[in-house]
Amino acid sequence: MPDAIVPPLIDARTFKLTPHESVTVRELGPDHLTVDVVYSPGGQLPPAHFHPAQDEHFKIIAGRLHVVIDGRKTELGAGATWDVPRGTPHRMWNAGSEPVHAIWVTTPPMRTLEWFMALDGLQRAGRVGRDGMPGLLAFGVYLTAYRDVFRLAGPQWLLGPVLRSLAVIGRLRGYQPLASRS
Protein backbone atom coordinates (compact mmCIF):
# COMPACT_ATOMS: atom_id res chain seq x y z
CA MET A 1 0.00 0.00 0.00
CA PRO A 2 1.21 3.55 -0.67
CA ASP A 3 2.63 5.79 2.06
CA ALA A 4 0.09 7.27 4.42
CA ILE A 5 -1.36 10.66 3.67
CA VAL A 6 -2.87 12.40 6.68
CA PRO A 7 -5.16 15.18 5.53
CA PRO A 8 -4.45 18.58 7.12
CA LEU A 9 -8.13 19.15 7.96
CA ILE A 10 -8.15 16.72 10.91
CA ASP A 11 -6.55 17.33 14.31
CA ALA A 12 -7.36 13.86 15.65
CA ARG A 13 -7.11 10.51 14.00
CA THR A 14 -9.73 8.71 16.12
CA PHE A 15 -13.42 9.19 15.42
CA LYS A 16 -16.41 7.97 17.42
CA LEU A 17 -19.07 6.85 14.95
CA THR A 18 -21.63 5.43 17.39
CA PRO A 19 -21.67 4.79 21.14
CA HIS A 20 -20.14 1.36 20.43
CA GLU A 21 -17.95 1.96 17.38
CA SER A 22 -14.82 4.06 16.90
CA VAL A 23 -12.19 4.17 14.16
CA THR A 24 -8.57 5.27 14.14
CA VAL A 25 -7.08 6.21 10.78
CA ARG A 26 -4.03 4.11 9.96
CA GLU A 27 -3.53 5.08 6.34
CA LEU A 28 -5.22 7.27 3.78
CA GLY A 29 -4.10 6.97 0.19
CA PRO A 30 -5.66 7.92 -3.12
CA ASP A 31 -7.00 4.38 -3.60
CA HIS A 32 -7.87 3.29 -0.02
CA LEU A 33 -8.62 4.25 3.57
CA THR A 34 -7.41 1.86 6.28
CA VAL A 35 -8.68 2.18 9.85
CA ASP A 36 -8.50 0.27 13.10
CA VAL A 37 -12.09 -0.21 14.23
CA VAL A 38 -13.18 -1.08 17.75
CA TYR A 39 -16.68 -2.35 18.42
CA SER A 40 -17.34 -2.05 22.16
CA PRO A 41 -19.46 -4.59 24.02
CA GLY A 42 -23.17 -3.96 24.12
CA GLY A 43 -23.66 -3.01 20.49
CA GLN A 44 -27.03 -3.52 18.90
CA LEU A 45 -28.02 -4.66 15.44
CA PRO A 46 -27.57 -1.58 13.23
CA PRO A 47 -29.67 -0.89 10.14
CA ALA A 48 -28.61 -2.64 6.97
CA HIS A 49 -26.62 -0.34 4.70
CA PHE A 50 -24.43 -0.42 1.61
CA HIS A 51 -21.76 1.57 -0.16
CA PRO A 52 -22.72 2.24 -3.79
CA ALA A 53 -19.21 2.70 -5.20
CA GLN A 54 -16.83 1.23 -2.62
CA ASP A 55 -15.59 -2.19 -1.57
CA GLU A 56 -14.69 -3.06 2.01
CA HIS A 57 -12.29 -5.61 3.46
CA PHE A 58 -12.21 -6.54 7.15
CA LYS A 59 -9.83 -8.62 9.25
CA ILE A 60 -10.70 -9.48 12.84
CA ILE A 61 -7.75 -9.01 15.19
CA ALA A 62 -9.52 -9.81 18.49
CA GLY A 63 -13.02 -10.62 19.69
CA ARG A 64 -16.07 -11.99 17.90
CA LEU A 65 -18.10 -9.86 15.51
CA HIS A 66 -21.63 -10.63 14.34
CA VAL A 67 -22.08 -9.97 10.63
CA VAL A 68 -25.03 -10.07 8.26
CA ILE A 69 -24.00 -9.73 4.64
CA ASP A 70 -26.42 -10.10 1.80
CA GLY A 71 -28.95 -11.64 4.20
CA ARG A 72 -26.61 -14.31 5.65
CA LYS A 73 -25.69 -14.10 9.36
CA THR A 74 -22.34 -15.31 10.68
CA GLU A 75 -20.04 -14.75 13.63
CA LEU A 76 -16.38 -14.04 12.91
CA GLY A 77 -13.46 -14.49 15.29
CA ALA A 78 -9.80 -13.51 15.41
CA GLY A 79 -8.02 -14.11 12.12
CA ALA A 80 -11.20 -14.16 10.03
CA THR A 81 -11.43 -11.92 6.98
CA TRP A 82 -14.36 -10.98 4.80
CA ASP A 83 -15.10 -8.74 1.88
CA VAL A 84 -18.14 -6.59 1.24
CA PRO A 85 -18.49 -5.78 -2.46
CA ARG A 86 -19.95 -2.40 -3.40
CA GLY A 87 -23.72 -2.32 -3.37
CA THR A 88 -24.03 -5.29 -0.97
CA PRO A 89 -26.30 -4.74 2.06
CA HIS A 90 -24.56 -5.57 5.33
CA ARG A 91 -24.48 -4.94 9.08
CA MET A 92 -22.03 -5.75 11.82
CA TRP A 93 -22.06 -5.40 15.59
CA ASN A 94 -20.57 -6.71 18.80
CA ALA A 95 -23.16 -8.65 20.79
CA GLY A 96 -20.53 -10.08 23.12
CA SER A 97 -18.93 -8.93 26.37
CA GLU A 98 -15.41 -8.30 25.03
CA PRO A 99 -14.30 -5.56 22.62
CA VAL A 100 -13.82 -6.47 18.97
CA HIS A 101 -10.81 -5.04 17.15
CA ALA A 102 -10.55 -5.22 13.36
CA ILE A 103 -8.70 -3.67 10.45
CA TRP A 104 -11.08 -2.14 7.88
CA VAL A 105 -10.02 -1.10 4.37
CA THR A 106 -12.35 0.94 2.14
CA THR A 107 -11.52 1.12 -1.57
CA PRO A 108 -11.62 3.76 -2.96
CA PRO A 109 -11.78 6.09 0.05
CA MET A 110 -13.96 8.76 -1.59
CA ARG A 111 -15.53 10.86 1.22
CA THR A 112 -15.54 8.13 3.88
CA LEU A 113 -13.16 10.03 6.17
CA GLU A 114 -15.40 13.09 5.92
CA TRP A 115 -18.42 10.88 6.81
CA PHE A 116 -16.51 9.63 9.88
CA MET A 117 -15.63 13.20 10.86
CA ALA A 118 -19.26 14.30 10.52
CA LEU A 119 -20.53 11.47 12.74
CA ASP A 120 -17.81 12.16 15.29
CA GLY A 121 -18.78 15.84 15.27
CA LEU A 122 -22.34 14.95 16.22
CA GLN A 123 -21.06 12.77 19.07
CA ARG A 124 -18.66 15.45 20.36
CA ALA A 125 -21.30 18.18 20.15
CA GLY A 126 -23.76 16.02 22.10
CA ARG A 127 -26.29 16.24 19.27
CA VAL A 128 -27.40 12.68 19.88
CA GLY A 129 -30.26 11.07 21.79
CA ARG A 130 -30.09 9.26 25.12
CA ASP A 131 -29.07 6.14 23.24
CA GLY A 132 -26.05 8.02 21.84
CA MET A 133 -27.36 7.93 18.29
CA PRO A 134 -28.32 10.92 16.13
CA GLY A 135 -32.05 11.46 15.65
CA LEU A 136 -34.08 11.25 12.46
CA LEU A 137 -33.52 14.90 11.49
CA ALA A 138 -29.74 14.56 11.77
CA PHE A 139 -29.83 11.31 9.83
CA GLY A 140 -31.94 12.96 7.15
CA VAL A 141 -29.28 15.64 6.66
CA TYR A 142 -26.23 13.38 6.88
CA LEU A 143 -27.57 10.39 4.94
CA THR A 144 -28.61 12.75 2.14
CA ALA A 145 -25.28 14.63 2.10
CA TYR A 146 -23.14 11.47 2.15
CA ARG A 147 -25.26 9.18 -0.02
CA ASP A 148 -22.27 8.71 -2.33
CA VAL A 149 -20.49 6.70 0.43
CA PHE A 150 -23.29 5.40 2.70
CA ARG A 151 -26.91 4.45 2.05
CA LEU A 152 -29.52 2.63 4.04
CA ALA A 153 -30.58 -0.62 2.41
CA GLY A 154 -34.14 -0.68 1.19
CA PRO A 155 -36.22 0.79 -1.59
CA GLN A 156 -34.25 3.85 -2.71
CA TRP A 157 -37.34 5.25 -4.47
CA LEU A 158 -38.91 5.58 -1.00
CA LEU A 159 -35.89 6.25 1.22
CA GLY A 160 -34.54 9.07 -0.97
CA PRO A 161 -37.61 11.35 -0.76
CA VAL A 162 -38.18 10.59 2.94
CA LEU A 163 -34.56 11.40 3.83
CA ARG A 164 -34.58 14.57 1.69
CA SER A 165 -37.76 15.74 3.49
CA LEU A 166 -36.20 15.08 6.89
CA ALA A 167 -33.04 16.88 5.72
CA VAL A 168 -34.97 20.08 4.98
CA ILE A 169 -36.26 20.19 8.55
CA GLY A 170 -32.92 19.02 9.96
CA ARG A 171 -31.03 21.85 8.26
CA LEU A 172 -33.53 24.31 9.75
CA ARG A 173 -32.68 22.80 13.15
CA GLY A 174 -28.97 23.48 12.58
CA TYR A 175 -27.65 20.16 11.31
CA GLN A 176 -24.99 20.84 8.69
CA PRO A 177 -22.69 18.22 7.16
CA LEU A 178 -19.01 19.14 6.89
CA ALA A 179 -19.31 19.92 3.19
CA SER A 180 -21.79 22.71 4.02
CA ARG A 181 -19.75 24.36 6.77
CA SER A 182 -17.26 26.27 4.65
On whether the CB atoms of residues 49 and 91 are closer than 8 A, the answer is: yes
Residue 153 burial (10 A CB sphere; 0-12, 13-18, 19+): middle
Q: What is the pLDDT of residues 83-138, one digit of tens each?
A: 999 999 999 999 899 999 999 999 999 999 999 999 999 999 999 988 888 999 99
Q: What is the pLDDT of residue 177?
A: 86
Mean pLDDT, residues 29-35: 96
pTM (2 decimals)? 0.89
42 or 90: which carries more pLDDT confidence?
Answer: 90
pLDDT of 10 over the 60 cut = no
**Going from the N-terminus, what domains does the chain have, and what CATH number goes with each?**
14-107 (2.60.120.10), 112-177 (no CATH)
pLDDT of 4 over the 60 cut = no
Residues shown for the chain: 182
45 contacts: CB under 8 Å, gap ≥ 6: 66, 68, 91, 93
Q: Within a 13 Å sphere around the CA of 170, how many CA atoms are in the beta-carbon half?
A: 23
Q: What is the pLDDT of residues 51-89, one digit of tens each?
A: 999 999 999 999 999 999 988 999 999 999 999 999 999
Q: pLDDT class for 42, splitting at 50, 70, 90? A: confident
Q: What is the pLDDT of residue 179?
A: 55
Average pLDDT of the chain, as a whole number: 90
